[in-house]
Structure 1
Amino acid sequence: MFCYQCSETVKGTACTVKGVCGKEPEVAHLQDMLVWLLKGLSYWAVKARKYGVNDSEADLFVAEGLFTTITNVNFDPESIGKKIERAIELRDKIKGAFLKAYRENEGRDFTDEAPEAATWNVPGGLDIWELKGAEVGVLSTKDEDIRSLRELLVYGLKGIAAYTDHAYILKHSDSSILEFLEEGLAATLDDSLSADDYISLVMKTGEMAVKAMALLDQANTSAYGHPEVTEVYTGTYAGPAILVSGHDLLDLEEILKQTEGTGIKVYTHGEMLPAHAYPGLKKYKHLVGNYGTSWYNQQKEFAAFNGAIVMTTNCIQKPLDSYKDRIFTTGLVGWPGVKHIPNRTDGQPKDFTPVIEKALSLGGLEERPGKKIVIGFAHNQAIAVADKLIDAIKANKLKRFVVMAGCDGHAKEREYYTEVAKELPKDTVILTAGCAKYRYNMLDLGDIDGIPRVLDAGQCNDSYSLVVTALKLKEALGLSDINDLPISYDIAWYEQKAVTVLLALLYLGVKGIRLGPVLPAFLSPNVLKILVENFDIKPITNVKQDVELMLKGL
């Protein structure tokens, strides 16, 4: 196997024996095979669209397939195998539709040579797919710079796919985003494209990332209202409980509806913390608090949670035996031997009865005290307090914003973000989104004239809110460039959705971003040089030096 799509890849180069995430070589090869076939499917979809042939089912499947291969989503070979089988079916269906349309419009048969990913079809199953996946992974592109740009493009597409899939689940769609996913994937099969061609596609990925995050923001707020400033309790109450982790708000809502009147208390975990700020979800009185911290602590935290656990999206780790019988997956998440809640059918909600029964059968939680943390500063709420922010800036009480959004992870180097939060002076405000906030959101950092010094916009996709807030502040302060704001970017990344957020920021013209705890292994020296020269991307160094430079706007 060869995988370097996350920040904790072995020795900062690649996982070649087993994934740090727990991914076995078999799964890595099957995921590579799935992505390769999605490229082949996309090849025909792009061509077919030119002749008015569209297949919305296939378009959405491409997004779901990409989402499946994001770090810490699906580790189940059988589940991935079913998607490979479906990818071949849909690819060949679109191929047939294109060939028919081409013949009818051009008056002749299509004779161009298609890439192997668009035609490969060898009888077999998991064993054959695994062998082929080993041939068509990252290293099948020999040129280091082209490989780097292709992977940067694909990882950006994976994040867009995740955000778009969430929006589609909430009945918000935009076919142009799905079409771009296919355009980008198909381009990775085209050996005639130059590095400049791929750079253009990468920048367009940033544009489409903004569009995808805006779509999901609209989906979430249409369904549940705009987030409100909310205090969330981090302790526990006595009694039966369900813990919901991941990102899928509809899953949480259905669990809340199905547990009403049962005596079960529902807690959020990880990236689900922002759910407490949505009026449509916080109205459920048995949504009582947030348990635990970031995804990487789940083995310890889940073992101590004597209730049922539901993983709605990434980020699942290998379940320990101590809780494997009470953890459930749903949606695109999969782990061998873990019970899976099937998808919705015929417009009906998912049936979380097995989760509820498991929660009621356990002894439940004991009461444990906790503190309250303040969340809910998505763009609508942040704009509502914009006058206070601007007054504080003009009064010289608020001198700088520092965006510390992104992902959390295992690496000890991530303590850097905790120390930065402690080191920043009291006249600075941290803007955050994603699970990176768990490095500092329990610190007592105080406030500026009632404005908390940590403004939490929500999940990783809510990084869009941070951009909207920044643009509104730029307008209110009469500035012409977003980079003229008193704002610095100190971003933590782990997986592909963070890559998507980064590309969105670059598309919007943000420069001088610090990226850590390490720079991506998939950036070749030449590609990194392009990003540094054009966008002033820089690695984190040490806390004191970085804080000093950020306060100077450097």
Structure 2
Amino acid sequence: MDPKMFCYQCQETAGCKGCTIRGVCGKSPEVAAMQDLLVYVTRGLSAVTSALRAKGESVSRGVNSLVATNMFHTITNANFDEAAIRERIARTLSVKASLLARLGDTDGLPEAALWSGEDADFAAKAATVGVLACADEDVRSLRELITYGVKGLSAYTAHANALLKYDESVDAFMQEALAKTLDDTLGVDDLVALTLELGKHGVDGMALLDAANTGAYGSPEVTEVSIEPRSNPGILVSGHDLRDLEMLLEQTKGTGIDVYTHSEMLPANYYPALKKYDNLVGNYGNAWWKQNEEFESFNGPILMTTNCIVPPRDSYKGRMFTTGSAGYPGCTHIEANEQGEKDFSALIELARTCEPPTKIEEGSIVGGFAHDQVFALADQVVDAVKTGKITKFVVMAGCDGRAKSRSYYTDFARALPESVVILTAGCAKYKYNKLGLGNVPGTGIPRVLDAGQCNDSYSLALIALKLREIFGLDDVNDLPLAFNIAWYEQKAVIVLLALLALGVKNIHLGPTLPAFLSPNVTKVLVDNFGIAGITNVDDDLKILVG
């Protein structure tokens, strides 16, 4: 039986092989097909922009943004709206036609750069350009690894762009990389080299977003965040986009409506410029995959700013809104105007009619340990290491997910000696940030240092490099530092490639290795970088902690 679709870009792909009937994430075969086609036409557009740059021509920020936003739309759990994706395909074809007219000479361009959308309907074309269109398993694996890394990097640049920060060199490289995934003359060695080069640009993209966030909102501060709801009606904000949250906070000032963060938006509570809003009152809920229950009990409107959508229940779909690259059929989508401003009055008016959130937790949690805050603790950290009070740092960043096997990360955190500090970012933190692990004995240093969103993984890289400098080491791998990272979607892919570009080795990745890595590509990563999967808590403790 021919598969209705094929997608294996996320950790939860069916059987760790590929979704062929319907996405585990909930996307339909029709949406999967349109996402495949959007990637295809964006690769074609990128071939044209790369050819223009090779001639010394410029490419506008608008086109760069179109490429990044297209790829962001295809990240796992971001956009389930077939009509919205079709509209992006049509827009991309129109922009590409204009650029082809500027380019003139089309010799040597791939078919994706020349396809106009007129010789077949979208569905028919999509059936010929999906993942399995490449027959060579290793070439296909590397092309997809590069594509997924670009998707992750596109998310970072899109967030930076929302805060008016741009890096033309990063945009140009992403487009060059996408164009090269169409080049049949490139073999495995060429694509491995391109993958590693992507990691270097991943570092640049992460640095760009870090500068954008801290430039707009200040450096995160150590903050105690309430996880108990108040008695006012509320609006819940999920996803990652800080600019969306800022606009909502500004529009809800003085209305008597509270604003809560959810999942990856929790770290917004750490930024000085956002903490000044007294209508930002805390965090509600846990990791993204629990949202069916938590959105139900929240009672008020929910704003999904990026990926992390779980197909909503009918009981609350009417009060779930999307914006940016997020989308779901039946949910109202909030568009930005030409100045990038968004009108959230529909959420505010709905909130006035809703009951306050139902209490599901009590107490508070502490976070805000981004690079500047950890640097401020440098003397204490060095002393604690030298005196043996801290024996190891374990980076447990990344993603959470539905798989029962992810309880491994809770058990691993519980089993760590009290002298071990967890460095984290991303929603993986929800596996252990409410365990009450306390401080390292004899120090004031918390055993869980939360740097923020997956978007803030750059902080963990900077902390590692700073520790290497402080201890006078030539190699970051000589630090008392281990990596036990959970992954789920494509932003984790670019974080992994960025860490490899920074020279980090012996990363353990779980709960499974990516299905899109062929045996030969996996061997390259194992042989050259010591990439490994997870086994069980006891054996992995011996390997990672000793």
Q: TM-score, normalised by structure 1?
A: 0.96
Q: Secondary structure at the match of 2:127?
A: helix
2: CA distance, partners of 1:292 / 1:203:
37
Q: Secondary structure at the match of 2:314?
A: coil
1: CA distance, partners of 2:361 / 2:174:
46
1:121 aligns with 2:125: no
Deviation at 1:366, TM superposition (A): 4.7
Aligned to 2:276: 283
Does the 8 A contact of 2:97 with 2:116 survive in 1? no
Q: Deviations over 1:200-250 (max 9, x none)?
A: 110011001100000000000000000000000111111210000000001
Q: Deviations over 1:28-87 (max 9, x none)?
A: 000000000011111111111122222222122101100000000000011001100011
Q: Secondary structure at the match of 1:451?
A: coil
Q: Counterparts of 1:284-433 in structure 2 under 5 Å?
A: 284-345=277-338, 347=339, 349-366=341-358, 370-433=362-425
Alignment match of 1:202 (pick from 171, 174, 195)? 195
Aligned to 2:516: 522
Alignment match of 2:89 (pick from 84, 90, 104)? 84
The code of the aligned residue for 2:109 comes to: A
Per the alignment, do residues 348 and 111 of structure 1 end up closer, same or farther by CA in structure 2, a change over 3 Å counting?
Answer: closer
Alignment match of 2:450 (pick from 449, 456, 474)? 456
The code of the aligned residue for 2:315 comes to: S
The code of the aligned residue for 1:485 comes to: L
Q: Deviations over 1:355-387 (max 9, x none)?
A: 001111112235666111110000011101011
Alignment match of 1:220 (pick from 213, 216, 222)? 213
Does the 8 A contact of 1:39 with 1:117 survive in 2? yes
1:58 aligns with 2:63: yes
Per the alignment, do residues 8 and 369 of structure 1 end up closer, same or farther by CA in structure 2, a change over 3 Å counting?
Answer: closer
Does the 8 A contact of 1:311 with 1:330 survive in 2? yes
Q: Secondary structure at the match of 1:539?
A: coil
Q: Secondary structure at the match of 2:267?
A: helix
Aligned to 1:97: 102
Q: Deviations over 1:462-511 (max 9, x none)?
A: 11100101111111111110000000000000000001100000111101
The code of the aligned residue for 2:483 comes to: Y
What are the ranges of 5 or more consecutive residues in structure 2 without an aligned counterpart?
none
Does the 8 A contact of 1:238 with 1:366 survive in 2? no
Per the alignment, do residues 348 and 201 of structure 1 end up closer, same or farther by CA in structure 2, a change over 3 Å counting?
Answer: closer
Aligned to 1:105: none
Q: Secondary structure at the match of 1:322?
A: helix
Does the 8 A contact of 1:7 with 1:518 survive in 2? yes
Q: Secondary structure at the match of 2:11?
A: coil
1: CA distance, partners of 2:15 / 2:360:
40
Per the alignment, do residues 227 and 421 of structure 1 end up closer, same or farther by CA in structure 2, a change over 3 Å counting?
Answer: same
Per the alignment, do residues 530 and 369 of structure 1 end up closer, same or farther by CA in structure 2, a change over 3 Å counting?
Answer: closer
Q: Secondary structure at the match of 1:53?
A: coil
The code of the aligned residue for 2:322 comes to: T
Aligned to 2:130: 137
What are the ranges of 5 or more consecutive residues in structure 1 without an aligned counterpart?
100-109
The code of the aligned residue for 2:96 comes to: R
Does the 8 A contact of 2:396 with 2:485 survive in 1? yes
RMSD of aligned residue pairs (Cα, Å): 1.1
The code of the aligned residue for 1:413 comes to: S
2: CA distance, partners of 1:160 / 1:348:
21
1:183 aligns with 2:176: yes
1: CA distance, partners of 2:63 / 2:369:
36
2: CA distance, partners of 1:366 / 1:164:
36
Aligned to 2:468: 474
Does the 8 A contact of 1:239 with 1:366 survive in 2? no
2: CA distance, partners of 1:335 / 1:415:
29
2: CA distance, partners of 1:401 / 1:119:
51
Deviation at 1:131, TM superposition (A): 1.9
1: CA distance, partners of 2:359 / 2:390:
39
1:506 aligns with 2:510: no
Alignment match of 2:532 (pick from 530, 538, 548)? 538
1:257 aligns with 2:262: no
1: CA distance, partners of 2:384 / 2:517:
40
Deviation at 1:134, TM superposition (A): 1.6
Greater mean deviation of Cα atoms: 54-63 or 410-419 = 54-63
Q: Counterparts of 1:154-169 in structure 2 under 5 Å?
A: 154-169=147-162
1: CA distance, partners of 2:75 / 2:124:
21
Does the 8 A contact of 1:375 with 1:455 survive in 2? yes
Does the 8 A contact of 1:512 with 1:538 survive in 2? yes
Does the 8 A contact of 2:298 with 2:358 survive in 1? no
Aligned to 1:69: 74
Percent of pairs identical after alignment?
56
Deviation at 1:112, TM superposition (A): 2.3
The code of the aligned residue for 1:96 comes to: A
1: CA distance, partners of 2:138 / 2:408:
30
Per the alignment, do residues 263 and 367 of structure 1 end up closer, same or farther by CA in structure 2, a change over 3 Å counting?
Answer: farther
1: CA distance, partners of 2:426 / 2:124:
36
Deviation at 1:123, TM superposition (A): 2.9
Aligned to 1:112: 107
The list of structure 1 runs, each at least 4 consecutive aligned residues, that deviate by more than 6 angstroms after superposition, is: none
Per the alignment, do residues 190 and 276 of structure 1 end up closer, same or farther by CA in structure 2, a change over 3 Å counting?
Answer: same
Q: Deviations over 1:385-422 (max 9, x none)?
A: 01111110001000000000001100001000000000
1: CA distance, partners of 2:360 / 2:230:
7
2: CA distance, partners of 1:62 / 1:287:
33
The code of the aligned residue for 1:16 comes to: T
Q: Secondary structure at the match of 1:538?
A: coil
Does the 8 A contact of 1:237 with 1:368 survive in 2? no
1: CA distance, partners of 2:498 / 2:344:
36
Q: Secondary structure at the match of 1:354?
A: helix
Does the 8 A contact of 2:73 with 2:325 survive in 1? yes
Deviation at 1:258, TM superposition (A): 0.4
2: CA distance, partners of 1:524 / 1:54:
37
The code of the aligned residue for 1:119 comes to: L
Q: Secondary structure at the match of 2:294?
A: helix
Does the 8 A contact of 1:264 with 1:359 survive in 2? yes
Does the 8 A contact of 2:48 with 2:109 survive in 1? no
Q: Deviations over 1:414-438 (max 9, x none)?
A: 0000000000000000000000000
